[in-house]
């Protein structure tokens, strides 16, 4: 089989997400699998080129994974015609600069979300890519989580009947750094550095809701800085200026009501770090990252309110697991494979920069709703 190699400039992979999910579990995993089999019988092999601001961090990372291509000079990496793709997982407020350079160089671009800190900025990136005629995509990984794939199957096969509501619980306790080191980077908690859970998670909830449950008509949101003092990676105390919890209610065009709680200040007592409960006329489902359980109308118990006695009902009974029919790969890797096919053979890839801008729009409207303390409509988003 004929091999085709394509350079992938990876900017920001010295960070936790970029390193773990995109470099190690996606690009390097694809290489370990022998590449991607194309329709013409050829093999596409991605060649990572590590880019960042710290040469020492890049050298260390390259040594760990046995790589020899790394640089702090993004312009030089983009000027190499062998590097056909630019990927960005930097902090949000640095993303636009790198993407615009790559677009100007004629490279296909793929990036983490949020794509920008404002809707206007996100739409400008989409318009730049459209005018340049370059292929583009945005990470929307949760669509390929095993639990959500099972949930989508239930929706597609009509298990619920008419869907009534969706409740999402996401989050975990992130230590403040005083007694135990924090497990998230400190910039997440500084508004001036692009932090805040609403901009982060509402981008996720936009594509999850759009793709599974329907278009969003309106929203009401509230944020909170529950913990206002934290310590950073060097142990220095700082003031948290970005919200660490967000509570959103979304009214869909089809009448479904979605409520999503996102928090880095919650101790988990539920099935998973992310749990979605979908209730319909004919049945309900509870989906986590990997598993999904259902309760049909016929298996629904009949509770009666009586707080004076222990409940005779075990509310965890009568829920059946949805079987795993096919093995699921890493969600980030699955989308990377789709994007690589999109670049190499024009395979379908609807998760572009315009879809990414929709996530930024929802987050920006959420922040505005919080500030103005009112419901806001979510208008259709189109490129200028």
Q: CATH homologous superfamily for 143-328+362-372?
A: Dihydrodipicolinate Reductase; domain 2 (3.30.360.10)
**pLDDT over 90 (residue 384):** no
**pLDDT over 70 (residue 306):** yes
Band of residue 133 on the pLDDT scale cut at 50, 70, 90:
very high
Spatial neighbors of 192 by CB under 8 A, at least 6 apart, are: 241
DSSP 153-202: HHHHTTTTSSEEEEEEEEE-BPP-SSSS--SS-GGGG-GGGT--HHHHHH
Q: What is the mean pLDDT of the chain?
A: 96
Residues 102-128: pLDDT tens digits? 999 999 999 999 999 999 999 999 999
Domain boundaries, the chain: 3-141+331-352, 143-328+362-372
User: What pLDDT does 147 receive?
Assistant: 98
User: What pLDDT does 93 receive?
Assistant: 86
Band of residue 2 on the pLDDT scale cut at 50, 70, 90:
confident
Residues 19-28: pLDDT tens digits? 999 999 999 9
User: What pLDDT does 383 receive?
Assistant: 64
Angstrom CA distances, 18 to 21, 25, 204, 215, 381, stand at: 6, 10, 17, 30, 28
- Topology of the domain comprising 3-141+331-352: Rossmann fold (3.40.50)
Q: pTM of the prediction?
A: 0.95
């Amino acid at each position: 089989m004929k091999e085709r190699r394509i350079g992938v400039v990876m900017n920001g992979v010295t960070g936790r997400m970029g390193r773990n999910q995109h470099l190690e579990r996606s690009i390097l995993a694809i290489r370990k699998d022998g590449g991607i089999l194309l329709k013409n019988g050829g093999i596409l092999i991605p060649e990572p080129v590590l880019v960042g601001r710290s040469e020492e961090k890049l050298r260390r990372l390259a040594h760990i994974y046995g790589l020899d291509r790394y640089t702090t000079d993004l312009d030089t990496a983009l000027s190499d015609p062998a590097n056909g793709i630019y990927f960005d997982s930097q902090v949000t407020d640095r993303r636009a600069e790198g993407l615009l350079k790559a677009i100007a160089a004629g490279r296909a671009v793929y990036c983490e979300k949020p794509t920008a800190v404002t809707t206007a900025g996100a739409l400008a990136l989409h318009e730049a890519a459209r005018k340049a005629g370059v292929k583009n995509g945005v990470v929307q990984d949760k669509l390929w989580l095993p639990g959500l794939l099972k949930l989508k199957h239930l929706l597609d096969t009509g298990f619920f009947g008419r869907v009534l509501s969706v409740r999402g619980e996401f989050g975990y306790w992130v230590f403040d750094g005083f007694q135990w080191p924090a497990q998230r980077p400190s910039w997440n908690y500084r508004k001036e550095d692009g932090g805040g859970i609403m901009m982060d998670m509402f981008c996720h909830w936009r594509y999850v809701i759009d793709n599974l449950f329907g278009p969003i008509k309106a929203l009401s949101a509230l944020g909170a800085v529950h913990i206002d003092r934290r310590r950073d990676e060097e142990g220095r105390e700082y003031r948290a200026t970005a919200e660490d919890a967000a509570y959103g209610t979304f009214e869909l065009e089809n009448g479904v009501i979605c409520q999503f709680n996102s928090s880095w200040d919650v101790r988990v007592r539920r099935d998973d770090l992310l749990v979605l409960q979908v209730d319909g006329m004919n049945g309900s489902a509870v989906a986590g990252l990997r598993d999904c359980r259902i309760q049909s109308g016929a298996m629904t118990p009949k509770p009666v309110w009586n707080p004076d006695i222990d409940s005779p009902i075990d509310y965890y009974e009568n829920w059946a697991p949805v079987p795993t029919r096919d093995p699921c790969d890493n969600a980030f890797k699955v989308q990377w494979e789709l994007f690589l096919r999109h670049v190499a053979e024009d395979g379908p890839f609807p998760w572009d920069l315009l879809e990414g801008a929709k996530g930024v729009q929802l987050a920006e409207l959420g922040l505005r709703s919080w500030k103005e303390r009112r419901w806001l409509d979510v208008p259709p988003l189109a490129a200028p």
